[in-house]
Structure 1
Amino acid sequence: MANVKIKPLADRVLVQPDAAETKTASGIIIPDTAKEKPQQGTVIALGAGKKDEPMTVKVGDKVLYGKYSGTEMKHEGEDYLIMRESDILAII
């Protein structure tokens, strides 16, 4: 797990996306241009939540999120997404 010094505010969550699949189940290699954006990742950091809505995810949770959720960012060579907790669809 990454040790990141980014602290999301309010109901924001910092997620490290899983790597995109490079091979299909049958062994066909997928070129970079055809790779799907990953839709799951690991919660790295989270804010304190809103006054009347506590956070339901915690650091280390594997989560599923929408394909176009969050804002992509790069920090110290790693890719992250920062999104609202409501953009997370499920804990897996």
Structure 2
Amino acid sequence: MKFRPLHDRVLLRRVEQDEKTKGGIIIPDTAKEKPMEGEIVAVGSGLRDETGKVVPLDVKAGDRVLFSKWSGTEVTIDGEDLLVMKEADIMGVLAA
């Protein structure tokens, strides 16, 4: 893939949730919500501060993160549905 997000933006892939509940009930596609968990595919270089110095992002490619429900812009790159969003829309990194 030849895509690099600019500045404080990240490219991420949604991580699909289980299709069953803990009680064994199968959730149909029409009732599912889009997952708010994803894996970072690529990150931008960072924002510039007041002095012009580039401040790198706190996330890196491969991190699993939680993000705001309605954040990001859906894009299709190489036939894969991905999201581009600002780092500020990411709520946190999930521990491995």
TM-score, normalized by length of structure 2?
0.87
The letter for the 2-side match of 1:77 is: G
- Secondary structure of the structure 1 residue equivalent to 2:30: helix
Q: Percent identity?
A: 52
In structure 1, the residue matched to 2:70 is 68
Specify the alignment match of 2:89 in structure 1.
Answer: 87
In the comparison of the two structures, how many residue pairs are matched?
89
Q: TM-score, normalised by structure 1?
A: 0.90
Contact 1:40 1:63 in 2 (8 A): yes
Q: Show structure 1 runs of 4+ deviating over 3 A.
A: none
Residue in structure 2 matching 1:34, options 31, 34, 37: 31
CA distance in 2, matches of 1:78, 1:55: 24
User: Could you say what the CA RMSD is over the residues aligned between the two structures, in angstroms?
Assistant: 1.0
For structure 2, which runs of at least 5 residues remain unmatched after alignment?
A: 50-54
Query: Distance in 2 between the 1:59 and 1:23 partners?
Result: 29
